[in-house]
Amino acid sequence: MTKIVVLPHPTLCPEGSTFDAEPGTSICNALIYHDIFIEHACEQSCACTTCHVVVRQGFNSLETAEEEEEDMLDKAWGLEANSRLSCQAIIADEELVVEIPKYTINHAREENH
């Protein structure tokens, strides 16, 4: 099992969280499994940026992002060098520290306002 530390997020995880996740699981699925309901508007098909996270520690343990993910990340709010789409980032054996950005770009939700 791999230790995952989630930094506090004002609405999704105000106190932060620490849990163990199975290597081979996506960060998105691990978050959801542990009741941190990160958005994933495209149902984890790498077609949006709502599950964008910043990997503060352990980034290099993740496999390199595919070109499709890189293209989507270019559209993410608050993009950083260590940003990943959590639906595409597969947990390995190294501890991860993950930050969920405060904002996300969700066109479907924004159009309904």
Domain that holds residue 35: 2-111
What is the domain count for the chain? 1
**What's the CATH code of the domain at 99?**
3.10.20.30
Percent helix, percent strand, percent coil in the chain, to nearest 5:
20, 25, 55
Q: How confident is the model at residue 86 (pLDDT cuts 50, 70, 90)?
A: very high
What's the pTM value of the predicted model, to 2 decimals? 0.91
* Terminal Cα distance for the chain, rounded: 41
Residue 106: the pLDDT is 64
Q: Which residue type sits at 76?
A: A
Compute φ and ψ for 9, nearest 5 degrees: -130, 135
Question: What tokens does 10 get?
Answer: 């004002």
Say yes or no to pLDDT of 17 above 70. yes
Per-residue pLDDT of 42-77, as tens digits, reads 999 999 999 999 999 999 999 999 999 999 999 998
